[in-house]
Amino acid sequence: MNEYDSELVRSILRKENYEFVSKEQDADIVMLNTCAIREKAHQKVYGRVHNLRHDRGDKPVLIGILGCMATNLRQEIFEDRSLKIDFIAGPDSYKRLPDLIREAVGEGEKPYDVTLSEFETYSDVTPSRKDGINAWIAVMRGCNNFCTFCVVPYTRGRERSRSISNVIEEVEGLAAQGFKQVTLLGQNVNSYRHEEGDFADLMDAVSRVKGIERIRFTSPHPKDFPDKFIALMRDNPKICKQMHMPLQAGNNRILDVMNRTYTKEEFLSLAQKMRDRIPGVILSTDIIVGFPTETDDEFEDTIKVIKEVEFDVAFMFKYSERKGTIASKKFPDDVTEAKKTERIMRLNEIQKEITLKKNKAHIGEVHTILVENPTNPRSLRDKVGRNDGGKLVTFPEGDYEVGSFLKVRITDATPHVLKAEVLATNS
Ligand code: 5AD
Ligand code: SF4
């Protein structure tokens, strides 16, 4: 979402004739688009600002903080004099950036706008996108769920959705520019709701846009997967058979104090339904270890669910207390750091084996992959692409264009990638 928001910011400022430079040292203004979801993301921003000021020495530079950290910590950011922040804009205030920058150049108080809107969806801003293969497109913003650990409802405000017609207009433009894949974004993307239709209606409409071959979405909440949507996913070849299902914890008491609104049993039956109805679906999840009061036995329940569902991928996090959240007010952060580390390491070990087993099961299969730019061109001699399930596939050097589709056979697998030989181009 932040990458996408940065594309919005680029577009808003380009309209005002700001020029974007590739090297930080050449910039007169540097903006950091921040995340507040965990303390670590936070510390990174403080580190970056200090380094930036240090590297510049006496040469002037305006530094702006954008995004969730801005909303959450306006006071703290301005009060920390050593940080020297010039302006602040929350996630609903990017259209005010030209004004904020003008004010920041002046002598007065440092400007900020962290107002949260019930309406802002940036539906009238076309993002300045970099990559020409996958386009992110936010179809809704905000979250009404208030999971007790999470800061998002406070930093990004209430849920609001763009109209289907407005999203389709943008997707048609993307197809005309040659984009092959769109990823629909939202803090709670499957809670998308507009008078023109629900999330399934939106996905269906996007899949009718000629030229768009693959559609992905992130991040959903397990509570909003109606049968209508599952059937659409099964039957529509353009909708990738990849589902992120954040579990967070596998114990019912912990799920309850997290306010996740489902039980372990309900989650398990949903996962089973997905597997039964969408053959070959790739499932991933998020887990938080060490939520306040989580006992060893309760953590064992999470391990049991992980072993039972056998997710293809799991993202794991140590609980990080965030100011203002319900959990921070109700429960002391009482699981020790050592305990959290022990639990995350154990879970990692178990999941690594499951991921490897899942990846190895693909050996011998024929997949269609979309060729991508490697994330680190120097470290990989092989080419890379992604299959329908979103897994990274490497294949030997050859005359294949980024953005084209290839038919490959999977020959080997590690916990991180599938390796393949190319059978044919598939364009
Ligand atoms: N501490 C640790 N992890 C968190 N997440 C959200 N809030 C916190 C927190 N306070 C994780 C959840 C969510 C993912 C995006 O980040 O697992 O699904
Ligand atoms: Fe945070 Fe829960 Fe909303 Fe996801 S659904 S953004 S975890 S409050």
- 421 CB burial (10 A radius; 0-12, 13-18, 19+): exposed
The protein residue with its alpha carbon nearest to ligand 2, atom 2, reads 147
Query: DSSP character for 248?
Result: B
Ligand 1: residue whose CA is nearest its atom 16: 37
For residue 150, the CA-to-ligand 2 centroid distance in Å is 6
Expressed in angstroms and rounded, the spacing between residue 185 Cα and the centre of ligand 2 is 14
The angle at the Cα of 216, spanning 214 to 218, to the nearest 5 degrees, equals 170
pLDDT for 399: 82
Q: Is the CB of 188 under 6 A from ligand 2?
A: yes
pLDDT given for residue 39 in this prediction: 87
pLDDT of residue 379: 56
Q: Give the residue, out of 288, 302, 319, 340, with the most ligand 1 atoms within 8 A of its beta carbon, to mutate for a pocket test.
A: 288
The set of protein residues with a Cβ atom below 6 angstroms from ligand 1 is 37-38, 149-150, 246, 248, 286, 288, 317, 319-320, 322
Q: Determine whether the shortest distance from the Cβ of 153 to ligand 2 is under 6 A.
A: yes
Residue 81: per-residue pLDDT: 75
Nearest 5°: phi and psi at 100? -60, -40
Which residues lie across from 413 on neighbouring strands? 418
Looking at the CA of residue 151, tell me the nearest atom of ligand 1.
7
Among 71, 148, 187, which residue has the most ligand 2 atoms within 8 Å of its CB, making it the best to mutate? 187
What is the residue with the minimal CA distance to atom 1 of ligand 2?
150
pLDDT of residue 311: 98
Asked if residue 182 has its Cβ within 6 Å of ligand 2, the reply is no
For residue 89, give every residue at least 6 positions away whose Cβ sits within 8 Å of its Cβ, in sequence order, or none.
Answer: 64, 65, 66, 70, 96, 97, 100, 112, 113, 114
Distance 221 CA to ligand 2 centre (A): 8
For residue range 140-180, what is the model confidence (pLDDT) as tens digits? 999 999 999 999 999 999 999 999 999 999 999 999 999 99
pLDDT value at residue 194: 96
41/173 Cα distance (integer angstroms): 34
Query: Ligand 1, from 185, 187, 286, 306: best to mutate by most atoms within 8 Å of Cβ?
Result: 286
Mutation to probe ligand 2, out of 2, 37, 72, 147 (largest number of atoms < 8 A from CB): 147
Q: Is 9 in the pocket of ligand 2 (CB under 6 A)?
A: no
Counting from 1 in the atom list of ligand 1, the atom nearest the Cα of 286 is 17
Distances (CA, A) of 18 to 15, 61, 91, 272: 7, 15, 20, 51
Q: Could you tell me which residues come within 8 angstroms of residue 189 by beta carbon, excluding any fewer than 6 positions away?
A: 139, 140, 199, 217, 218, 219, 220
What are the pLDDT tens digits along the chain (427 aa)? 999 999 999 999 999 999 999 898 899 999 999 999 998 887 888 899 989 988 888 888 999 999 999 887 777 777 777 778 999 999 999 999 999 999 999 888 889 999 999 999 999 999 999 768 899 999 999 999 999 999 999 999 999 999 999 999 999 999 999 999 999 999 999 999 999 999 999 999 999 999 999 999 999 999 999 999 999 999 999 999 999 999 999 999 999 999 999 999 999 999 999 999 999 999 999 999 999 999 999 999 999 999 999 999 999 999 999 999 999 999 999 999 999 999 999 999 999 999 999 999 999 999 999 998 776 655 556 789 999 999 999 999 888 888 999 999 999 999 999 999 999 876 5
Give residue for tokens 């497109």: 137
pLDDT 10s digits, 391-414: 999 999 888 888 999 999 999 999
Query: What pTM did the predictor assign?
Result: 0.94
Ligand 2 centroid – CA 260 distance (Å): 9
Could you tell me if the CB of 327 is within 6 A of ligand 2? Answer: no
Distance 341 CA to ligand 1 centre (A): 16
At 93, list the tokens. Answer: 């205030």
145 Cα–ligand 2 center, Å: 6
> What is the residue with the minimal CA distance to atom 2 of ligand 1?
319
Cis peptide before 219 (omega within 30 of 0): yes
Is residue 32 helix, strand or coil?
strand
CA dist., res. 410 & res. 419, Å (int):
6
**Which phi and psi angles does 110 have, rounded to 5°?**
-70, 130
Nearest-CA neighbor of 13 among 56, 62, 80? 62
- Closest CA to ligand 1's atom 13: 286
Q: What pLDDT is stored for residue 377 in this prediction? A: 56
Whole-number Å distance, alpha carbon 10 to ligand 2 midpoint, is: 27
In this structure, what token pair is assigned to residue 246? Answer: 């954040």
Q: Is 186 in the pocket of ligand 2 (CB under 6 A)?
A: no
Which ligand ends up closest to the CA of 147? 2
Q: Please report where in the chains the tokens 């339904």 appear, as a residue.
A: 273
Closest-lying ligand 2 atom to the alpha carbon of residue 221: 5
